[in-house]
Amino acid sequence: MDVLDKIKTVRDLVKIYFDENSEFTGLSGIGESEKNHIIEIGTSILCTKWEVGYGGGSFVKSFANNDLMGAIERADETSFKGFKFFAQLMRNVVAPHS
């Protein structure tokens, strides 16, 4: 499986997790654009954590490295809304076997 296929697999896992858990993470009322942003950032966080493809940006690296202060400093408005989702995503979603 090449890197793009692995990233797609991770994105699919994040989307499923979002669809099943958004109401429990305070994200059920967000718009489609914010939902897509949350899914992309969640994908980048897991890919960074699991070393799939390239490392994410400064917010993603801070979040994946459990650097709360760095993540808060670097979060945009939508990413800040997703903190609880990202934390639960990192804790509850396991890397697929390749």
User: For residue range 16-43, what is the model confidence (pLDDT) as tens digits?
Assistant: 999 999 999 999 889 999 999 999 999 9
Are 75 and 38 spatial neighbours (Cβ–Cβ below 8 Å)?
no
Residue-wise pLDDT for 37-47, tens only, equals 999 999 999 99
C-alpha to C-alpha distance for 98 and 74, rounded to whole angstroms: 32
Specify the residue for token string 């459990």. 66
- For position 97, what pLDDT does the model report? 78
Residue 74, pLDDT above cutoff 70: yes
- For position 98, what pLDDT does the model report? 59
How high does pLDDT run on average in the chain? 95
Task: Give exposure, 38-55, as e/b (b: 16+ Cβ within 10 Å).
Answer: bbebbbbbbbbbeebbee
